[in-house]
Structure 1
């Protein structure tokens, strides 16, 4: 397979994936989305919950807006994670899946993405910094194995597709 074909295929996959995810998510009832997200986030943040690291979120709402797949929700903490559809958050984080995935896999720095305008933080700046620091403190190795392996594999796949998409991969397949 030539590099030109690989580049075109990678661009197509990168462009098609968010559309498929958006269509898939659009048929899932909102309550089910919130329930699944709550379970995933509770699993992912179990250590932080256990040690009271989310207590600063009591009475505060953080919105997460994943633009490219149309996923928008707010979360808070009051002894347990609370999730709801968007209403009026204290701070809003907006990005696309690739950026969020690379941050989660510790392959990209959120500050870099912020200055590149690939990550937007709007609202209560102090709360936003606390959330960002909490997320940066999560060790990938400390996550449950299925979550960790999924993040790692997806990040590697994404980086490979991006390298072919922008032509920086000079190998031919």
Structure 2
């Protein structure tokens, strides 16, 4: 019985937590979210910017959709990152927040998620592959240690919840 209760609680948390996180996120004006995303990308990809490795993004818009957080935007690069509401992307990446957290923390491979249909890439697949490879090249050591620790703990907690939610009670 305790295992069954833990499994049900874990399943419920996996559904409820993103909904709770989405509520305040929806209330933040898009311009504020865009500014944060632009600054984050400028910082995380500063090495690629300095090495002129982002030419492939010029003139192209890449959409990101995180359905469980009700967050969607497009990003492009022309000397700096620009974020806008989704209108005409060349390629769209869609996933839930948990899967994106696992990728960001280095606990899950985006190719695995793609083949499990937990990460969708629609549109210009060549551009999508370039974007995916660029994001995989981000060195997690660029993050402050407190952010790395938080990402790691959140990812480990998520993995534990996922594993616990599928635990089956063994017959006696």
Common fold: TM-score over 0.5: yes
Q: TM-score, normalised by structure 1?
A: 0.89
Tell me the residue number matched to 2:65. 65
Aligned residues: 170
Q: TM-score, normalised by structure 2?
A: 0.89
Secondary structure at the counterpart of residue 19 of structure 1: helix
For residues 77 and 160 of structure 1, what CA distance do their matches in structure 2 show?
Answer: 37
Tell me the residue number matched to 2:18. 18
Q: Provide structure 2 residue ranges, at least 5 long, that are not aligned to the other structure.
A: none
Q: Which moved more, 1:123-132 or 1:18-27?
A: 18-27
Judge conservation of contact 2:93–2:120 (CA < 8 Å) in 1.
Answer: yes
Q: Which moved more, 1:143-152 or 1:159-168?
A: 143-152
Tell me the residue number matched to 2:52. 52
For residues 147 and 38 of structure 2, what CA distance do their matches in structure 1 show?
Answer: 14
Q: For residues 71-110 of structure 1, what are the structure 2 equivalents within 5 Å?
A: 71-110=71-110
For residues 146 and 50 of structure 1, what CA distance do their matches in structure 2 show?
Answer: 26
Question: Deviation at 1:22?
Answer: 1.9
Q: Which moved more, 1:46-55 or 1:131-140?
A: 46-55
Question: Deviation at 1:97?
Answer: 0.8
Aligned-residue CA RMSD (Å)? 2.1
Q: 1:67 to 1:15 in 2, by over 3 A?
A: same
Q: Provide structure 1 residue ranges, at least 5 long, that are not aligned to the other structure.
A: none
